[in-house]
Amino acid sequence: MYDPQTTTADKQRLLEYTTTHRQDEAIKSWIKHDNYRKASDAIKMDHGSFCKIIKVCRNRAASKERLDHVGAKQPDGYAIKGTSSLIDYRENPEGDTLLQWVKTDRDAERQLELMRETVSAMCDDIPRVKAVKSPSVANYNLLNLYVITDYHFGMLSWAEETGEDWDVHIAESLLVKWFEQAIASSPNAETGILCNLGDFLHQDGMEALTPTGRNLLDADSRFAKIVRIIIRCLRKVIDMLLHKHKQLIIIMAEGNHDMASSVWLREMFAAMYADEPRITVDVSPDPYYCVEWGKTSLFFHHGHKKKPASVDDVFAAKFREVFGRTKHSYAHMGHMHHVWQKETNLMIVEQHRTLAAKDAYASRGGWLSGREASCITYHKEYGQTGRITITPDMVKV
């Protein structure tokens, strides 16, 4: 695409706003070739990724120059919510403005957009993981669904206060050991689904606060360390699942605790395993997800937007064609940490427990539940055919 409205000087100015070598290379190629397609082909970059890099750099440049309605600058990702003025009425009945303060607040939608743009651009620099040899034996009719919900990685719980200890090291050890046992105990199914059903992270950024309510959280360690451990832990789990299944589907669902972090989890693992043909990562930004398996349909939603009792028609409407083609339908949800199951006219809706310990907020409020996670096996023709439920006590962390 030729862009006559962008001058060479404008393109060169974007070099000030690149943050990676790949972005710098893309802008320089655009300056040289003056055409999106030629520029991306010259550096052997996917055309879509090239366009995203240009967009990210342009937005970054625009954010530095954006002025609000009173002429004051505000950081990108923040919105102006009002002003306070010191006005002198002594000599002028209409008042002379002596000082003015601009009040800003977090713009949640813009911050989420920035996160998506940044992660999308960063994915070009993430090292791709080499393909792993596929297992030789697997029942092509079967699918194993590994459901992990409300794991709250990064949460801190003190046993003297809550009855159970929880920190990042306990969380990592338990998750790996749980998958070791679940994989060993489940049938040799052709396909596996690694389903993180939301709230995998306890906090969604540098501040230990919930994203929307801004409620204070009990956090263990620094956010950067939490992210590092999560990536290491999930890499281990994915490697184990690839040795078990011929095909692996990864779902990183949005939760109310990790609305933005679920974005980088999806995008990062999609980029990381781009060269592994046996892995499919669902990168949909919509918080409702679907997998079709023969005559069986599986639906997923964390539960922060729709309650279990009224979610079945949402799934049927959003995934109308899949629902119409299938005979057996199952919906999986989390959010409330306790078991709830009901068969409606459309599907079986199930709310899952969590493996994680309760925090002080849940303990003090009396919101108590057991701890477990399940691996559920589905048949292409007959729907659910088996289930293995494993508690933390069974893996002896």
What's the CA dihedral at 236, 240, 243, 247 to 10 degrees?
Answer: -90
Range of the domain at 269: 131-395
- Cβ proximity of 218 and 167 under 8 Å: no
For residue 352, which of 308, 393, 310, 322 has the smallest C-alpha distance? 308
Note whether 99 and 139 are same-domain residues.
Answer: no
Residues 145 and 198 in one domain: yes
Residue-wise pLDDT for 159-189, tens only, equals 999 999 999 999 999 999 999 999 999 999 9
For the segment 222-230, the average pLDDT, to the nearest whole number, is 91
In this structure, of 75-89, 143-157, 308-322, the range with the lowest mean pLDDT score is 75-89
Per-residue pLDDT band for 68 (boundaries 50, 70, 90) equals: very low
Do residues 287 and 337 both lie within one domain? yes
- Kindly state whether residue 121 falls inside one of the protein's structural domains: no
Phi, psi angles (nearest 5°) of residue 121: -70, -40
Average pLDDT, the chain: 87
Residue 27 in any domain: the answer is: no
Alpha carbon distance 230, 46 (integer Å): 28
What's the rounded mean pLDDT across residues 28-54?
Answer: 87
For residue 284, being part of any structural domain is answered with: yes
Give the CA angle between residues 112, 117, 118 to the nearest 5°. Answer: 95
* Residue 116, pLDDT score: 61
Please report the pLDDT score of residue 332 as a whole number. 98
Lowest model confidence (mean pLDDT) among 51-60, 91-100, 235-244, 330-339: 91-100
Model confidence at 385: pLDDT above 80: yes
Same domain, 229 and 90: no
d(CA 126, CA 106): 29
- Output the CA torsion 194→198→201→206 (10° steps): 130
Give the list of residues 6+ apart from residue 22 with CB closer than 8 angstroms, or none: 45, 53, 121, 124, 125
Residue 47 maps to a domain: no
Q: pTM surpassing 0.75? A: no
End-to-end CA distance of the chain: 56
Q: What pLDDT is stored for residue 65 in this prediction? A: 58
| pLDDT, tens digit, 9 for 90 and up, residues 89-103 | 676 666 676 666 655
In a domain, 151, yes or no: yes
Higher-scoring residue by pLDDT: 62, 254: 254
Across 157-295, the runs of DSSP E, i.e. the strands, are: 189-196, 247-252, 279-282, 289-293
Distance set, CA 86 to CA 93, 101, 129 (Å): 14, 9, 59
Q: Which residue has the higher pLDDT, 301 or 22?
A: 301
- Same domain for 85 and 207? no
Please tell me the predicted confidence (pLDDT) of residue 350. 98
* Whole-number Å distance between alpha carbons of 109 and 103: 18
Question: 96 or 76, which is more confident?
Answer: 96
CB–CB of 132/111 below 8 Å?
no
- Residue 41 forms part of a structural domain: no
Collapsing DSSP to helix, strand or coil, 288 comes out as coil
DSSP secondary structure code for residue 11 in this structure: H
Sign of CA pseudo-dihedral 333, 339, 342, 347: positive
* Total structural domains within the chain: 2
**Residue of 106, 104, 40 whose CA lies nearest to 72:** 104
State yes or no: pLDDT of 205 exceeds 60: yes
Residues 221 and 90 in one domain: no
- Pair 277, 188 in one domain: yes
pLDDT for res 69: 43
Residue 4 lies inside a defined structural domain of this protein: no
Highest mean pLDDT among 52-66, 117-131, 360-374: 360-374
Instruction: Examine the domain organization and report whether 193 and 281 are in the same domain.
Output: yes
Q: Would you say residue 232 lies in a domain? A: yes
Residue 351 belongs to a domain with what CATH number?
A: 3.60.21.10
Q: Are residues 200 and 324 in the same domain?
A: yes
- Which of the pair, 371 or 8, is modelled with greater confidence? 371
